[in-house]
Chain A
Amino acid sequence: DIVMTQSPDSLAVSLGERATINCKSSQSVLYSSNNKNYLAWYQQKPGQPPKLLIYWASTRESGVPDRFSGSGSGTDFTLTISSLQPEDFATYYCQQSYSTPRTFGQGTKVEIK
């Protein structure tokens, strides 16, 4: 199984500041035939299902604000929120869809500083 490890586990950020979350996979999730990384980012707020933010490591889902960006390739990935808004305080998960089981990272909770 591919193990997904996020860092940090939690992050305290002030409104308007940048937040950076890292995700590392135990093996590459880059599919060589199409040069795409099978890595997605989700946001989850209490009492709600997760919401897709980013797929293929860097493609924003329709309707997701452009302050959210994803980067990285192979085994190392980053989700950046450029200027935190009140609605961004939530838990964020990475997930690989390169192979089954489609494993998630343990989550990173973004809290108000």
Chain B
Amino acid sequence: QVQLVQSGAEVKKPGASVKVSCKASGYTFTSYDINWVRQATGQGLEWMGWMNPNSGNTGYAQKFQGRVTMTRNTSISTAYMELSSLRSEDTAVYYCARASVNLGYWGQGTLVTVSS
């Protein structure tokens, strides 16, 4: 069965970077894009960007341009999302999701807390 397993919770100081991993199993990793979506506590879903694991091509929401980098390691079927220059407003749960015309499979989420 398709599974996306994300790395554990992180606590970071303002100005630092965080890198969240998303390990895929149960399907051919390079056959589907990975999207990243975040959700601040009590708030809605915010789409951050996409990555094609086959080509490595990426596309980011304007809001995150220059601060986010999405990469992958195909040998271990793992996608990564790195967010830099963290501020308190980046405190949220970060999700990876397998993308086709929809987001049919999601990781369990990774809580990133930004606090001094």
The list of the 7 closest CB pairs from A to B, nearest first, reads A49-B106, A55-B102, A101-B61, A40-B102, A104-B45, A107-B44, A102-B47
Which B-chain residue is minimally distant from A61 (CB atoms)?
B104
**Are A52 and B44 in touch, CB under 8 angstroms?**
no
For B, the interface residue count at a CB cutoff of 8 angstroms equals 22
Which A-chain residue is minimally distant from B59 (CB atoms)?
A100
For A, the interface residue count at a CB cutoff of 8 angstroms equals 24
**Are A50 and B103 in touch, CB under 8 angstroms?**
yes
Closest Cβ of chain B to A47, distance in Å, is 9
Interface assignment of B109: CB less than 8 Å from any CB of chain A = yes
Which B-chain residue is minimally distant from A38 (CB atoms)?
B101
Interface assignment of B95: CB less than 8 Å from any CB of chain A = yes
User: Which residues of chain A are near B45, meaning CB under 8 Å?
Assistant: 42, 44, 50, 93, 95, 104, 107
Q: Mark A75-112, 1 if CB is under 8 A from B, else 0.
A: 00000000000000000010101001111111100000
